[in-house]
Amino acid sequence: MPSGELIAYAVLTAVGVYATVNGVSYRLVEPSGAVGPGMMPAASGVVIVGLSLILMVRVLRSSGAGRGVTAEELAAASEDDVIDPPREHRAWVVIGLMVVTALLMNVLGLLPALGILVVVVVGFVERRSWTRAVAVGLITVVVLYLVFDQLLGVPLPTGLLGGVI
Amino acid sequence: MWDNLSLGFSTALTPENLLLCFIGVLAGTIIGLLPGLGATTGVAVLLPLTFTLDPVSALIMLAGIYYGAQYGGTITSVLISTPGEPNSIMTTLDGYQMARRGRAGPALAIAAVGSFFAAIVSLILLALVAPPLAQIALKFGPPEQLALVVLGFVIISTVSGDSQIKGLLMTACGVLLATVGIDSATGTTRFTFGQLDLLSGISLIAVVVGLFALGEVLAQLSIGEAKPIRTRLREMLLSKEDLRRSRAPIMRGTGVGFAFGALPGGGSTLASFIAYGLEKRVSPNRAEFGKGAIEGVAAPESANNAAANANFIPTLVLGIPGGATTAVLLGAFTLYGITPGPLLFEQQPTLVWGLLASFFIGNVILLVLNLPMAPVFAQLLRLPYGYLYPLILCSSLLGAFAEENAIFDVWVAIAFGIVGYFIFRVGLPVAPLVIGMVLGALFEKTLVQTSSMGSGSFGILLDRPIALGILAVAALLLVVPAVLARRRRLRVAHTSLVSSESKKDTHV
Amino acid sequence: MYTQPPQRRLTRCFVIATGSTLLLGACGASVGSGGDDDWTPEGRVTMLVPAGAGGGSDLLARSVGSGFEDVVSGLNVNVENYDGLPGYAQLQKAAGDPAVMLSAESSLITVPQLADVDFDYTSFTPIFKLGDDRAVLTVSEGSEFSSCSEVIGAAESDQVQVGVASATGIDAAVTLLTEQATGVEFERVPFDAGSELVTSLLSGDIDIALLNPGEVIGQYEAGKLKGLCVFAEDRYEYDQLKDIPTSVEEGIDVTFSQFRGIIAPADITDAERDAWVEVAEEFTESDAYDEYIEQNYLQPNAVFGEEFSTYLEEMAESLSGVSEQ
């Protein structure tokens, strides 16, 4: 299993190639001689490909396929004292929750969706008591509502319930 | 001169105007605090409320929002690594690190002190030399701006952490991201994949919020929860050492900020980037940058305030906006029936000098508000991270939405949160990505303009001494350190060779 | 004594709360929903702006919004900014809802012609045009040109550099139309906003620019910039501008100007549209309208409803030559 670094550089190389190819198709130079819309995409694409390849070669040379850094090593390297053992999957759970929240925004409304996010994170991911979770969620929603909707008049999507919130 | 000042202060010191000034700076601080809501939006939204007011009073309040936001943006940058304004992005680099070490109080305090100093100095300069400065600023056309951006790239290249190559790679990625959208010069759509929401490009705020705030939360979660930060009372206040170290950065930041802000279209964001990069180059403590060096907070914070005030130079003297928020303020002038332009100083002395005087007063109010509040704000970090980070998630997602009322931006923020997390795990530097986005956009714009002006060649640069001068400085900055480092290496190698030779002798 | 366990009680509360919310929501949903013949605007109305806060379209929206509020008591116009085209997408989503409007100008026509979007000006209901904003060919005080015909003459032999604020904007269109009408070619230098054009003219980086007088009246008054001709059939009536000859007088047969107006979503009933047109008509008779027109040096040639649709059609026609470039 190639290291995360290697994958990252491979992805970037692909991105760079894509950028360069498209950049050329967007015209590098205008008929008038001015720099065209494709110049910057192509130029940055070339730089990305070049540097990614160099870095990939470095990684391959230094430690075979490389191992990548594990969460434990990062924790050890961090200067703070950690009281929890590293639980990397927590990050993924939170990412998943944020995606779900964003999807819910158009259904339930932006603030309710955020409220649910808070409740689930505090209650489920962080394993605090559910009463606390709901309390924090409610307070957050109320404060955000007062500041953004009432004070600043930002139009927050209200989802399918519309018209009330 | 004194007549003008006394006219100004007598206008600004009425009870009504003082109250409006206070409301303005307070509102500005809150608006600057909230990620996604910028001073520009804040001023535009509160504009209709001012229709019933006298123009001077209205402008005093609106201007207060503008420079008040410069103070507010710092607070979330330092406490939760979420820039409240684009020009607070640089502050997150060291400010947040200081907060992690229990020094949020001094970080916020030095930001307030630096901002105040920069504001006062820039206002004095504004009052004294605005008209001639405006004329000089006019000489900065696209070729000069291109040169400045190149200089900016060179200065900023030190902010790439340990590896120049990785930094450059991230910068190039940022430049590429900035090309997404409709190219305003030719109408070509680039990398939009048919998405309407991408036609105006990727929102900078959504990216910044995603990378810095969400990415940081995800990173923290994956390496385990840090102990709540315990701070001792001593560490919550500014020490003499802090002040001593910050003196020079504040002055340099003010200079850089003022210079960049005075150019029409010159931004406080760019100024804060340059100030940070410059400070990192010249500071004796440069090794600490990125880990909590107070200079890394003092310099960009002073720069963004100086730039915000300097933005008023082209605005008031020429009627040309210095930036997005001053553009709104100029629009407000029109709505109040005042014609902005070169004759403003002559036609409306009460307005202009009253406004300038109110800036002094407003900044004093802000210092008084922010300095004692710094340790209080810092207490927020005592909250267990398990409660704190959901709040960060909320404010980030909401902030990303609020910038342009687009749920799409929420997705952008989440996407860049994931990107930021990967970047952290793989060990690539994050800041150059954002720098690339901002500088890259400017670079392309000025490049296209310069090449159009020169009918396809860059020979036009040879006719522009200012541009050439700036490029020469950039070249020197690039070459000189490399040459010096090489000479040092050679000398060290030589010395160690000599000493090992002599050691060998003694063993004989 | 049987007491319900806490969870059950909580669930019941939750159900009741949700139920009543939904009920209230269904009742209070949209304001002034269409259907009857006597519809009048009331309550909370949304004004969309396909541009950021503080720009020309935004300030127009706020001015018109507060003007409408003065005409209809109890009306509350809420301005929402969007980053360009997503604003139009919001308007599309609001089809059938008469409580939504959008502050429009010529991009409504030019953008669909130049970019790949799934709407054009016929996708919406035009309500009224406030007035026209004309383009004036502007040079700096030290310029070698003192008339538009001179500029055209120079462009025939030399390169004349014109600053253009945006490829989809009105000055790009007028530049192209002028080139087509006179057979010359200008050299374009691209910028992002009118204010940058002003700077570049003042510093001599470009030779000419097509600007709306409202943006530069201060410069004209100070003598730093001068207007050489206005692209219209008749001259301005405003004092400061009445000495500027028209393009037609100078031999350029281009009279294209930008409009500023309000449009509504598609699929609203005729009664609803007419109701808005009435409000607009009242607005144009108010002082607030006159003030806005004068402050921005617009032409007070308001048109409403059907007339506005025809105007838009004609504009799209004359611009169709532009998009084929």
DSSP state, C100? E
| Predicted pLDDT at C118 | 82
Give C41-83 pLDDT, tens digit per residue: 888 888 999 887 767 788 888 889 888 988 888 888 888 888 7
Q: What is the C-alpha to C-alpha distance for residues C197 and C176, in angstroms, rounded to an integer?
A: 17
Mean per-residue pLDDT for C23-52?
A: 63
pLDDT at residue C270 tops 60? yes
- Name the percent of chain C lying above pLDDT 70: 86
Q: What is the C-alpha to C-alpha distance for residues C195 and B319, in angstroms, rounded to an integer?
A: 9
Check if C24-133+259-324 and C136-230 are the same fold: yes
Q: List the one residue out of B347, B276, B278 whose CA is nearest residue B94.
A: B276
| Mutation to test the A interface, candidates C14, C20, C21, most A Cβ within 10 Å | C21
Assigned superfamily of C24-133+259-324: Bordetella uptake gene, domain 1 (3.40.190.150)
B448/A34 Cβ within 8 A = yes
Give B244-256 pLDDT, tens digit per residue: 889 999 999 999 9
- Phi/psi for C100 (5° steps) reads -130, 140
Please report residues of B whose CB lies closer than 8 A to that of A121: 389-390, 393
- Has residue B507 been placed in a domain? no
User: How many Cα atoms sit within 13 Å of C82 on the Cβ side?
Assistant: 25
> Do C85 and C117 meet the contact criterion of CB atoms below 8 Å apart?
yes
A155/C78 Cβ within 8 A = yes
Cα C248–Cα C250–Cα C252 angle in degrees, nearest 5: 55
C81 sits in the region (left: phi over 0; alpha: psi -120 to 50; else beta) called beta
Please report residues of B whose CB lies closer than 8 A to that of C86: 196-197, 200, 404, 406, 408
Q: What is the C-alpha to C-alpha distance for residues B351 and B54, in angstroms, rounded to an integer?
A: 10
Q: What range defines the domain where residue B190 resides?
A: 1-497
Q: Which two tokens stand for residue B409?
A: 């931006």
> Do B88 and B74 meet the contact criterion of CB atoms below 8 Å apart?
yes
- Has residue B508 been placed in a domain? no
Q: What is the C-alpha to C-alpha distance for residues B76 and B86, in angstroms, rounded to an integer?
A: 12
Band of residue C14 on the pLDDT scale cut at 50, 70, 90? very low
Q: Which two tokens stand for residue B67?
A: 């420079």
For C119, other C-beta atoms within 10 Å of its C-beta total: 17
- Phi/psi for C244 (5° steps) reads -85, 120
Give C217-227 pLDDT, tens digit per residue: 888 888 889 99
- Has residue B505 been placed in a domain? no
The alpha carbon dihedral of B149, B154, B158, B161 has a sign of positive
**What residue type is assigned to position A24 of the chain?**
V
Q: Show Cβ contacts of residue B493 under 8 Å, excluding neighbours closer than 6 positions.
A: none
Describe the crossing of helices C56-71 and B324-335 by its angle, rounded to 10 degrees.
40
For B128, other C-beta atoms within 10 Å of its C-beta total: 11
Give B310-333 pLDDT, tens digit per residue: 988 888 888 888 777 888 888 888
| Predicted pLDDT at C27 | 38
| Predicted pLDDT at B142 | 87
Q: Is C260 helix (H, G, I), strand (E, B) or coil?
A: strand
What residues are paired with C45 via a beta bridge? C77
Give the number of domains in chain B.
1
Task: For C114, name the nearest residue in chain B, comparing CA atoms only.
Answer: B187
| Predicted pLDDT at C37 | 56
Please report residues of C whose CB lies closer than 8 A to that of A163: 25, 28-30
The alpha carbon dihedral of C150, C214, B350, B265 has a sign of negative
Q: What is the C-alpha to C-alpha distance for residues B70 and C262, in angstroms, rounded to an integer?
A: 35
- Has residue B363 been placed in a domain? yes
> Do C174 and B243 meet the contact criterion of CB atoms below 8 Å apart?
no
| Predicted pLDDT at B329 | 86
Give C174-204 pLDDT, tens digit per residue: 888 898 888 888 888 888 877 888 888 988 8
**What residue type is assigned to position C309 of the chain?**
S
- Residue C272 CA, chain-centre distance (Å), reads 22
| Predicted pLDDT at B228 | 56
Band of residue B415 on the pLDDT scale cut at 50, 70, 90? very high
Give B160-190 pLDDT, tens digit per residue: 666 778 888 999 999 999 999 888 777 788 8
Mean per-residue pLDDT for B200-205?
A: 85
> Do A159 and A108 meet the contact criterion of CB atoms below 8 Å apart?
yes
Task: For C188, name the nearest residue in chain A, comparing CA atoms only.
Answer: A32
Q: Are strands C258-264 and B189-190 parallel, antiparallel or unpaired?
A: unpaired
The alpha carbon dihedral of C71, C77, C83, C85 has a sign of negative
Biggest alpha carbon–alpha carbon distance for chain C = 103
| Predicted pLDDT at B231 | 60
Tell whether A161 lies on the interface with C, counting CB pairs under 8 A: yes
Q: What is the C-alpha to C-alpha distance for residues A77 and B480, in angstroms, rounded to an integer?
A: 34
Total residues found in chain A within this entry: 165
What residues are paired with C49 via a beta bridge? C81
| Predicted pLDDT at C6 | 46
Q: List the one residue out of A82, A90, A87 whose CA is nearest residue A122.
A: A90
Give C78-125 pLDDT, tens digit per residue: 888 887 778 888 898 888 888 999 999 888 888 887 777 788 888 899
Task: For C297, name the nearest residue in chain B, comparing CA atoms only.
Answer: B334
> Do B258 and B307 meet the contact criterion of CB atoms below 8 Å apart?
yes
Total residues found in chain C within this entry: 325
Q: What is the mean pLDDT of chain A?
A: 78
pTM: 0.82
Sheet of C187-190: strand order equals: C187-190, C161-164, C208-211, C136-140, C225-230
- For chain C, which residues make up each domain, given as ranges? 24-133+259-324, 136-230
Describe the crossing of helices A110-120 and A88-108 by its angle, rounded to 10 degrees.
150
Mean per-residue pLDDT for C250-254?
A: 87
- Has residue B479 been placed in a domain? yes
Instruction: Tell me which residue has tokens 């090309």.
Output: B179
Mean per-residue pLDDT for A15-24?
A: 91
Instruction: Quote the minimal CA–CA distance from A100 to chain C in Å.
Output: 21
DSSP state, B270? H
pLDDT at residue C16 tops 60? no
Instruction: Please tell me which residue, C46 or A71, carries the higher pLDDT value.
Output: C46
Band of residue A26 on the pLDDT scale cut at 50, 70, 90? confident
pLDDT at residue C269 tops 70? yes
> Do C175 and C94 meet the contact criterion of CB atoms below 8 Å apart?
no
Give B79-106 pLDDT, tens digit per residue: 888 887 888 888 988 898 888 888 888 8
pLDDT at residue C31 tops 50? no
Instruction: Quote the minimal CA–CA distance from B478 to chain A in Å.
Output: 19
Instruction: Please tell me which residue, B147 or B187, carries the higher pLDDT value.
Output: B147
Give B343-396 pLDDT, tens digit per residue: 888 888 888 888 888 888 899 999 888 888 777 777 777 777 788 888 888 888
How many contacts, defined by CB atoms under 8 Å, are there between B and C? 157
> Do C308 and C129 meet the contact criterion of CB atoms below 8 Å apart?
yes
Mean per-residue pLDDT for A95-122?
A: 88
Mean per-residue pLDDT for C146-170?
A: 86
Assigned superfamily of C136-230: Periplasmic binding protein-like II (3.40.190.10)
